[in-house]
Structure 1
Amino acid sequence: MKWSRLPLGPIQTNCYILADDDKKCLIFDPGDEGEVLISWLRKRGLEPEAILLTHAHFDHIGAVDVIREHYKIPVYVHEKEAKWLMDPALNGSQFFNLIDPVRVKPADQFIAKEGELSIGKFSLEVLETPGHSPGSVSYYLREDGIIFSGDVLFQQSIGRTDLPGGDQKILLKTIHDKLLVLPENTLVLSGHGPETLIEDEMDSNPFLNGF
């Protein structure tokens, strides 16, 4: 599997593309600039099979409808945030003046619990990782040693908890119980900023010291 990162939109949210050798791919968190993403995919001859959302904050969902309608593919989100796609008060877009309120059509598939998720030839482990938002999930590829963590854990930082449904205590417990138990060489692909390693965050993330 090969992954690529495209920072999109005014907050430069990381959209990730995971591709196999057959040019099939999954799209994680298409936050904005749908036409830019379509052009990027077209130039590389990639064929998307699904959109996977780590959570439903506005900066992770802004291009969902453009991509879904262009490729006729399903959108996955945790059932706890099913209503967030359509509601600017829940997805947070009404609190930021730099963008218009974001409203996205309902998802096609809902994640209800942790476990295996198979889409075409792709197989991922879904981990429920709340705290940044109630329905945050991370997508783990055990064999490849990578996890798409959304806004749970960043390089030398953690996700904010001041938007609807955020809870710092839950977030810290999530990071400790779900992420820091992964192999130390696991590559964390975060919703913002560069990738990092579980080992590095265990050793030097200032928000995790003493937890």
Structure 2
Amino acid sequence: MEIKSFALGPLQTNCFVLAGDAQAVAVDPGGDPAPVLAYLKGKGLTLTHILNTHLHFDHTYGNKALAEATGAPILHGVDDAYLLETELGLGRMFGLPPVDPYEAQTVEPGQAVFAGFDCTVLATPGHSKGSLTFYFPEARAAFVGDLIFFRSIGRTDFEGGDLDELKRSVTSRIFTLPPETLLLSGHGPETTVGDEMNHNPFFAGF
């Protein structure tokens, strides 16, 4: 098992690939997926799913190209579907280009299997209404999108954001995971559940 990261797109969004012996899953392709496709080809991997932690434009720029190149379905949280009709989901914000339209499916919180790995899909709203965290216990890793970062949290001033809800998502869904669990965020370096419980200033005294 291997987790590979790629900083893609105009905001250098972290795209992650979780790979097994023959299959892989990609999380948040936020730009041209050429490096991801080269990695998959070099490893002889079949991409089974493209997972979006949320549907903000900087996490979806590469959705269409990666799906077309691999045939993998794109999955996202049901409560983020409305973003596909807004500038926040379609791009064009901050003078950035639009997102190429893509076909996607919703995934419900609960148990799933992606690329042969068991996954717990967690509803973690706060940064967006439909933000999801994909927790892979075998990998001891959770892909959290923009929910929580190294020593910080995601912004909540966009439409659908809610600071109190974000904090509840972190304390009830993320901080209940094993402390050694890697937290792989949409931007910045990786961290762990234990480190953020002890050192994240937004949860001082937790």
| TM-score bracket for the superposition, by shorter chain length | over 0.9
Unaligned runs of 5+ in 2: none
Report the Cα distance in structure 1 between the residues aligned to 2:139 and 2:34, rounded to whole angstroms: 29
Alignment map for 1:19-168 (pairs within 5 Å): 19-21=19-21, 23-85=22-84, 87-91=85-89, 93-97=91-95, 99-107=96-104, 109-112=105-108, 114-168=109-163
Query: SS at the partner of 1:77?
Result: strand
User: Identity of counterpart residues, as a percentage?
Assistant: 40
> After superposition, what is the alpha-carbon deviation per residue over 1:1-54, rounded to whole angstroms, capped at 9, x for unaligned?
211111111111000001112x21001111101223222322232221110110
**What is the aligned-residue RMSD (CA, Å)?**
1.6
Question: What is the TM-score when the length of structure 1 is the normalising length?
Answer: 0.91
Q: Which runs of 4+ in 1 moved over 3 A?
A: none
Unaligned runs of 5+ in 1: none
Q: 1:92 to 1:176 in 2, by over 3 A?
A: farther
Q: How many residues align?
A: 206
In structure 1, give the amino acid aligned to 2:20. Answer: D
Report the Cα distance in structure 2 between the residues aligned to 1:26 and 1:52, rounded to whole angstroms: 7
Shift of residue 164 of structure 1?
1.5
In structure 2, give the amino acid aligned to 1:45. Answer: G
Q: Does 1:5 align with 2:5?
A: yes
Whether the 8 Å contact between 2:49 and 2:115 is mirrored in structure 1 is: no
Q: Which has the higher helix share?
A: 2
Q: 1:92 to 1:132 in 2, by over 3 A?
A: farther
Query: SS at the partner of 2:138?
Result: coil
Shift of residue 102 of structure 1?
2.1
